[in-house]
Amino acid sequence: MTLSQVGASEQARTGPAAEAPPPPAPVRRTTWLTVGGIVAALLALTALSLSVGAGEVGPARVLDYLLDRGGARSDGRLALVVGDLRLPRTLTALLVGAALGVAGAQLQCVTRNPLAETGLLGVNAGASLGVVVGIAVLGVQTSYGYLAFAFGGAVLASALVLLIAGSRGGGSPMRLVLGGSAVGATFGGLTGVLIVNSPEAYDRYRVWVLGSLAGVEGWTTLRQLAPVLGAGFLVAAFTTRPLAALALGDDLARGLGHRPGATRAAVATAVTLLTASAVALAGPISFLGLLAGFLARAVAGPRVGRLTLLAGLVGAAVLTGADVLARVVARPFEAPVSVIVALVGAPTLIAIVRSRKMAALGMTDTEPTGSSSAQGEAKAPGPDLVLRRGALSLLLPRRSALAVLGLAAALLAAVVVSAHAGQSELGLGRTFQAVFGYGDRLDVLLVQKFRLGRIVAGLAAGAALGLAGCLTQTLARNRLATPELLGVNDGATAAVLFSVTASGTFGAWWAGPLGALAAVLVVTFVSGGLGARGYRVLVVGLAMSALASALIQVAMARRSLNSAGSLLVWTSGSLNGRDYAVATPVLVGLALLVPLALVVARRLAVLRFDDNVASSLGVDPARVRLTCLLLAVALAGLAVGVCGPVGFVALAAPVIAGRLAGPARVPVLGSALVGAVLVVLADTLGRVLIGGVEIPVGIVTTVLGGPFLLWVLLGRKGNPA
């Protein structure tokens, strides 16, 4: 899950796309001067793109070709370098960058969320799945085949998102966000199933997924997609006025003669056409739509027409400049353009979000109101159980206690089923006895030696993820806030991969917590400390995650296929080869951290209310936040060190535990138990689903996580937010 989905819960309160009153004349003059500067920079970058590259053709000869001075166009070598390579590549960079910029701005306006990016509608995930299906199933090997399957997959994903978002009375911004998140997760999981079992498909996919304009040769591909891009730009232009009205609220938009549902559908159509074409031409260049929208808003403010135009110009300039850098920074090779975008864009985005102008636009330090945690609004607790023995008494919440007992029984059943899976000669009864060391010695050896170590590792990692998710969701008062919010997963994954490169061995469990802690420290420091709230922390976390993710992809792409294939399994989240030795550090960590989490949980529940209320009740909000943050980082880092980044467990476990235990308390134990059950069952399913093939546990949870997200967050009556 991306951080743009996390920030969406604040869209109704902050409304960054809301139409502001007309600015004074000096402000308008400054805005248009800035636009003129960006246009001048874009022209300069275009000239530079035409002058730089293979072929040793300098600017003078390029100008000769463009003006056809001295019959330069009849020179075959010059025609090849400039006419067939540089001109199509430069124009493609301009159009793709503009398409992603416009799509990002439109998506941010329609969702009223400045963290929305073009992957939100599942377009990137759909395109990736289409390409992998073409490679692994149909044997596609040509760039034109990649283009066709990428476009088809992107359109399919967006159509599903629109269908989901438009169900039950029309598509709200939150439905669009959650539908895109769910479809993207499911498609991403299916992509993982295919590439993890097909080395050939993964070898081609790991290069394509980095995004590049190096494959643009001639005008054929661009000519084929130019009508689609043109249609996307045209639809986006026609939606600017309805979007401006929609920013005032659905009721006011209807009063002005607009139809909110039709407006959102039109915007989604424009975003789909633009992003699908861009992905088909250059691969999934993520982060650019978010960056262009943010930079444009910093200059033009929230006015939709100017914002859309400026975002297109910024997107074109950024991608063209990144493509030029990609050609020169690693000569004679080319760097992936998506990595250049992340390297340039992440610091720029952080600088913008820390500026005073963003605060003036209401896009930073937003103070959440109310409670939207996974556990719901705080309500009066139900009847409790009182246990007394002499002068000692213990108060147990009845519903929470029953939920914990039920989950403990479910966990035992999951352990037995997992130990039994794949051992057809053992019945469930014999497996149950062998788990506890009874019965035939061969049965005990088989279960405890070859099965139980892996199961214990899964239990430990799942419990750590569930508890970390519970802490972050309650801390952020947002059911979508998981450890990914602060770049924990990407930081831990990058650290483990670095330890593999440095030491040449795998299994450094300590690298996960260290990487997670480093990521959180960087995000916290750059965003201005724990007191910073709202979009500032989210944007900084998103920028750091994008940067770490790009570096991880590059590291994977540059390793040998065998090495990258084994690391791919781990980065997908896997328990293969895990045993007691790997699980021990996590178990020790849980033994120390769970009691501390139980102590903090009582104070954490008070933070569901306003900080002033918490302070009046004797709770120090800053201290509780710091404690919970460190706990969540340690737990999530340990889990990543054991089994890699397993998705959706940290999201789902607190939601399920909260529904079982009730909304009155923070379900610390329940979340840990649910997380353990989910990981063990997902690992079991991955081992038995396809005979002779093991699907990593992280892929199973990701595939099933999308439908779960829809069921939990969209299946309820009323507003899903």
CATH number at 244 reads 1.10.3470.10
Same domain, 346 and 234: yes
Q: Higher model confidence: residue 719 or residue 215? A: 215
**Residue 5 has what pLDDT?**
44
Q: Which long-range contacts (CB under 8 A, 24 or more apart) does 609-612 make?
A: 609/371, 609/378, 610/369
What 8-state DSSP symbol labels residue 395? E
For residue 407, the one-letter residue type is L
- Enclosing domain of residue 660: 395-421+454-713
pLDDT band at 44 (very low <50, low <70, confident <90, very high): very high
| Whole-angstrom distance, CA of residue 126 vs CA of residue 228 | 17
In a domain, 427, yes or no: no
Which of 135-144, 175-184, 282-291, 370-379 is predicted most confidently?
Answer: 282-291
Same domain, 407 and 319: no
- The overall average pLDDT reported for the chain is 76
**Rounded mean pLDDT, 485-507:** 69
Residue 464 has pLDDT above 50, yes or no: yes
Q: Tell me: the pLDDT tens digits for 228-240? A: 899 999 999 998 8
pLDDT band at 390 (very low <50, low <70, confident <90, very high): low
Least confident among 165-174, 190-199, 254-263, 278-287:
165-174
Asked if 293 and 105 touch (Cβ cutoff 8 Å), the reply is: yes
Same domain, 266 and 407: no
pLDDT band at 73 (very low <50, low <70, confident <90, very high): confident
Same domain, 354 and 460: no
* Per-position b or e across 306-320, b if 16+ CB within 10 A of its CB: bbbbbbbbbbbbbbb
**Rounded mean pLDDT, 551-573:** 73
Same domain, 300 and 405: no
Same domain, 684 and 563: yes
In a domain, 16, yes or no: no
Least confident among 79-83, 246-250, 700-704:
246-250
Asked if 677 and 414 touch (Cβ cutoff 8 Å), the reply is: yes
Residue 438 has pLDDT above 50, yes or no: yes
**Residue 502 has what pLDDT?**
64
pLDDT band at 265 (very low <50, low <70, confident <90, very high): confident
Same domain, 278 and 415: no
What percent of the chain has pLDDT above 70? 77
Which of 71-85, 91-105, 279-293 is predicted most confidently?
Answer: 91-105
Same domain, 196 and 298: yes
In a domain, 6, yes or no: no
Same domain, 208 and 271: yes
In a domain, 719, yes or no: no
pLDDT band at 157 (very low <50, low <70, confident <90, very high): confident
Q: Of 316, 337, 360, at which residue does a domain stop?
A: 360
Same domain, 596 and 680: yes
Q: Which long-range contacts (CB under 8 A, 24 or more apart) does 660-663 make?
A: 660/403, 660/406, 660/407, 661/375, 661/397, 661/399, 661/400, 661/403, 661/404, 662/379, 662/381, 662/382, 662/397, 662/399, 662/400, 662/403, 663/375, 663/376, 663/377, 663/378, 663/379
Encoded tokens for 72:
């330069």
pLDDT band at 582 (very low <50, low <70, confident <90, very high): confident
In sequence order, which residues have a C-beta less than 8 Å from that of residue 255 and are 6 or more positions away?
none
Residue 17 has pLDDT above 50, yes or no: no
In sequence order, which residues have a C-beta less than 8 Å from that of residue 31 and are 6 or more positions away?
23, 299, 300, 301, 306
pLDDT band at 507 (very low <50, low <70, confident <90, very high): low
**Rounded mean pLDDT, 264-273:** 86
Least confident among 4-13, 27-36, 529-538:
4-13
In a domain, 5, yes or no: no
**Rounded mean pLDDT, 315-339:** 84
Q: Of 336, 360, 384, at which residue does a domain stop?
A: 360
| Whole-angstrom distance, CA of residue 669 vs CA of residue 628 | 15
Asked if 649 and 701 touch (Cβ cutoff 8 Å), the reply is: yes
Residue 379 has pLDDT above 50, yes or no: no
**Residue 315 has what pLDDT?**
93
Asked if 607 and 547 touch (Cβ cutoff 8 Å), the reply is: no
Same domain, 413 and 297: no
In a domain, 447, yes or no: no
Asked if 110 and 4 touch (Cβ cutoff 8 Å), the reply is: no
In sequence order, which residues have a C-beta less than 8 Å from that of residue 509 and are 6 or more positions away?
582, 585, 586, 638, 641, 642
Q: Higher model confidence: residue 70 or residue 55? A: 70
**Residue 91 has what pLDDT?**
93
**Residue 367 has what pLDDT?**
40
Q: Tell me: the pLDDT tens digits for 635-665? A: 888 888 778 788 888 888 888 888 888 766 7
Same domain, 399 and 285: no
Residue 295 has pLDDT above 50, yes or no: yes
Q: How many CB atoms lie within 10 A of CB 555?
A: 16
In a domain, 30, yes or no: no
Q: How many CB atoms lie within 10 A of CB 576?
A: 15
Encoded tokens for 394:
């213990």
**Rounded mean pLDDT, 11-17:** 42
Count the domains in the chain: 2
| Whole-angstrom distance, CA of residue 32 vs CA of residue 462 | 53
Residue 362 has pLDDT above 50, yes or no: no
Least confident among 25-29, 428-432, 457-461:
25-29
Residue 425 has pLDDT above 70, yes or no: no
Q: Of 360, 377, 409, at which residue does a domain stop?
A: 360
Closest CA to 136 of 189, 186, 183, 199: 199
> Which uninterrupted H or E stretch holds 435?
helix 428-435
**Rounded mean pLDDT, 582-602:** 79
**Residue 529 has what pLDDT?**
57
Whose tokens are 């994008």? That residue is 546
**Residue 55 has what pLDDT?**
65
**Rounded mean pLDDT, 351-363:** 57
In a domain, 390, yes or no: no
User: pTM of whole model > 0.75?
Assistant: no
